Structures are given as structure tokens and as C-alpha cells.
């Protein structure tokens, strides 16, 4: 995204008692038929034995959880949709910046396709197993309109902010402290005359701030692309990068599935990345997520920072295999 920030929407009136720590976002949802009216969806998970209850005592969504050794992280994931028709979503789960399979209603998978009727709420049991001892940065991302998205430029330019929601929490197993953050060293550093404060992916090795709308390639070929990250703030920005192809994590560079880095104040950097195109013909979706402050304990849930976006998405770039 450029300087635009993720839209955050809080439901009001009859839904005011819904847990509001998940991110609410205005969605200009699109399909091959074109743009549709603004819709509202919220989502989030709780580490609890019962689903969250509207209007009743509720443990609420937390920003950190303390677990015992060998304790399974489980609970309920809720999706509240105020859309005017039934919608499908794809749920992805990550732990320490790597995609992991979880059980959702006792089905184990890396990705879970779920549907929610119009103007209703669904609660799903989830369970994440085999979490190692120590500090875990755990987050779940809900992708809106995961398939059959229009190739039109105006639709694609809106997919960085308006087509997903996320929730992130620190899992602390046996009172562990966060791991030491060790950033990678990247190539080109630029002065940030534009005041660019975000990130985009494109084909510019020189660091130009332009969008990459689509790519046509033959199967099994290599695509070099670049992640442009800007910091217009007065303090150092630490980040982690992950890439998804068809919603499954793929390496960014040199076989690494996660890249850690830092951007100095009022600077920009260009991070090189590479993917290999799929073997199947058709449209494939590439997107990159940037996670702020990796290996840092999440702020208290009532703090202002807890409501600020900490996971950011590139636009979805369609890779068209001919």
C-alpha cells in the first residue's frame, strides 16, 4: 500500500457488545461481475472453552496468552458478517511467521474455506498442536473473496487493505521471553523524499514506487520481483516479510520463507525476491504480508496500539500461466 492506512470500523447499535478487538474493515468487495457495495465483516479468536457470547460475560479477545508446557492452544474463531448475501472466506494460520496447519471443527488443513450466511455469525472450534516451548507470535488471517477475483486494475488496487482481516496474539509458553530480533541485510537503500510509509511489491530493481498489476508467464519459470518498504517515521521500523502463492507460503529469496529487516527513519529499502511459477494453467494469486515489530510482545488489549494495524498486505498480483 502507499500512504493509505487499513480502514478500521467498529460495529455499533445492536452489535455494540460484540468483541471489538478484532479488526473491522470496510470491504469494497469484487468478483468477476465487478464492484459491490461496502460490506462489513469482523473476525477474531479466543482461547476459551465456549464461544464468545453477545450480551453475556465474555473472556474477550486477548493480545497475549500464557500457556503451560505441552498445553494445546485452542478455542473459538468467530466471523460476524453484516453483508447482504452469503460470503466465502479463506482462513490462514501462522506461528512465528510460518504457515501452520490447524484443526477447524476437527478438520486439519493449512487453509480452511468457510462460508457465512448473510447478516449472521459463525463460530468455529480451532486447535493448534505441537507449539514449541518459548515465545510464539501467532496470527490468523481471514481472506475475503479468495477466488475468481476480477483482473481489472481498479479492483486489484483495492486488495491491499480491503480484502482481509487479521488477529495477532503473543503466546507465552513457560514464561518465555521473545527471541532476539536479527534482521537480514538487504540491497538498495534510498532517501525517502516521497514520505512513503508502507510497502508495495513490483518489478522495479531501482526502487520506483509503482504498482505491479499482473504478470503473464509460462509454467515453471522464475519471476524476479521487489518489495519496496518505506519508513516516514522518526524511529527505526522492524519487520518480517512472508509471501503466499495461492494462499500457501512460498520462499521469498534463497529458500527463506521469512525475511526479517529494518528500515531507518525517513528511508526506503528495496528487497529482492523470487518465485517459481506454478505448473497449472490459469490465474494464480501472489501476495506478500509485512508484519510489524516481529518477536515483540503484543501491547495490552485496552491500549491504543492494540487497535492499530500490525499486519499489512500487498495488493494481490495475478500470475497468469498461459
Res 17 pLDDT > 90: no
Judge contact between 149 and 224, C-beta under 8 A.
Answer: no
3-state secondary structure of 14: helix
Separation CA 225–CA 252 (nearest Å): 9
Summary mean pLDDT of the chain: 84
CB atoms within 10 A of CB 316: 24
Torsional sign, CA 55, 57, 61, 62: positive
Separation CA 183–CA 160 (nearest Å): 25
Q: Quick one: 188 exposed, middle or buried, by C-beta within 10 A (0-12, 13-18, 19+)?
A: middle
Q: Where in the chain is the domain with CATH 2.60.40.10?
A: 13-173, 188-321
Which CATH number applies to 13-173?
A: 2.60.40.10
Judge contact between 122 and 91, C-beta under 8 A.
Answer: no
Of 32-36, 161-165, 254-258, 284-288, the least confident:
32-36
DSSP string, 109-178: ESEEEEEE-TTEEEEEEEEE--PPSEEEEEEEEEEES-SS----HHHHTTTTTTTEEEEEEEEEESSPPP
How many residues comprise the chain? 322
Grade residue 267 by pLDDT with cuts at 50, 70 and 90. very high
For residue 27, the cross-strand partners are: 39
Distances, alpha carbon 71 to alpha carbons 47, 51, 58, 127, 140, in Å: 12, 19, 22, 11, 19
DSSP 256: B
Angle at 195 between CA 190 and CA 196, to 5 degrees: 75
Which CATH fold would you assign to the domain 188-321? Immunoglobulin-like (2.60.40)
Check residues 263 and 16 and name the one with the higher pLDDT.
263
3-state secondary structure of 74: strand
Look at residue 108 in the predicted model and tell me its pLDDT: 96
Q: What are phi and psi of 13, to 5 degrees?
A: 60, -125
- Terminus-to-terminus CA distance in the chain, angstroms? 28
pLDDT digits (tens, 9 = 90+) for 95-129: 999 999 999 999 999 999 999 998 899 999 999 98
Look at residue 26 in the predicted model and tell me its pLDDT: 34
Based on its alpha-carbon atoms, the radius of gyration of the chain, rounded to whole angstroms, reads: 19
Question: pTM of this prediction?
Answer: 0.85
For residue 150, the cross-strand partners are: none
Amino acid at each position: 500500500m502507499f500512504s493509505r492506512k487499513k480502514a478500521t470500523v467498529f460495529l455499533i447499535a445492536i452489535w455494540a457488545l460484540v468483541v471489538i478487538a478484532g479488526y473491522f474493515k470496510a470491504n469494497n468487495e469484487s468478483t468477476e461481475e465487478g464492484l459491490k457495495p461496502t460490506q462489513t465483516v469482523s473476525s477474531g479468536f479466543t482461547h476459551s472453552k465456549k464461544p464468545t457470547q453477545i450480551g453475556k460475560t465474555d473472556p474477550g479477545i486477548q493480545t497475549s496468552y500464557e500457556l503451560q508446557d505441552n498445553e494445546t492452544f485452542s478455542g473459538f474463531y468467530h466471523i460476524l458478517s453484516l453483508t447482504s448475501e452469503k460470503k466465502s472466506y479463506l482462513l490462514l494460520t501462522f506461528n512465528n511467521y510460518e504457515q501452520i496447519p490447524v484443526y477447524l471443527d476437527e478438520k486439519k488443513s493449512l487453509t480452511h474455506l468457510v462460508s457465512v450466511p448473510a447478516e449472521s455469525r459463525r463460530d468455529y472450534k480451532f486447535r493448534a498442536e505441537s507449539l514449541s516451548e518459548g515465545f510464539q507470535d501467532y496470527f490468523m488471517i481471514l481472506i475475503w473473496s479468495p477466488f475468481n477475483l476480477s483482473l481489472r486494475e481498479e479492483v486489484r488496487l483495492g486488495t491491499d487493505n480491503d480484502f482481509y482481516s487479521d488477529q495477532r496474539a503473543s503466546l507465552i509458553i513457560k514464561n518465555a521471553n521473545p527471541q532476539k530480533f536479527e534482521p537480514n541485510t538487504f540491497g538498495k537503500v534510498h532517501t525517502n523524499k516521497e514520505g512513503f510509509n508502507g510497502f508495495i511489491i513490483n518489478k522495479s530493481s531501482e526502487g520506483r514506487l509503482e504498482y505491479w498489476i499482473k504478470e503473464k508467464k509460462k509454467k515453471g519459470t522464475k519471476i524476479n520481483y521487489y518489495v519496496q518498504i518505506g519508513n516516514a517515521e522518526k524511529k527505526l521500523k522492524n519487520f518480517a516479510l512472508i509471501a503466499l502463492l495461492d494462499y500457501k507460503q512460498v520462499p521469498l529469496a534463497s529458500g527463506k520463507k521469512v525475511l526479517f529487516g529494518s528500515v531507518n527513519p525517513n528511508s526506503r529499502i528495496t528487497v529482492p525476491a523470487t518465485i517459481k511459477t506454478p505448473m497449472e494453467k490459469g490465474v494464480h494469486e501472489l501476495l506478500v504480508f509485512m508484519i510489524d515489530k516481529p518477536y515483540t510482545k503484543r501491547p495490552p488489549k485496552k491500549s491504543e496500539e492494540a487497535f492499530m494495524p500490525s499486519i499489512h498486505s500487498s495488493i494481490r498480483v495475478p500470475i497468469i500461466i498461459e
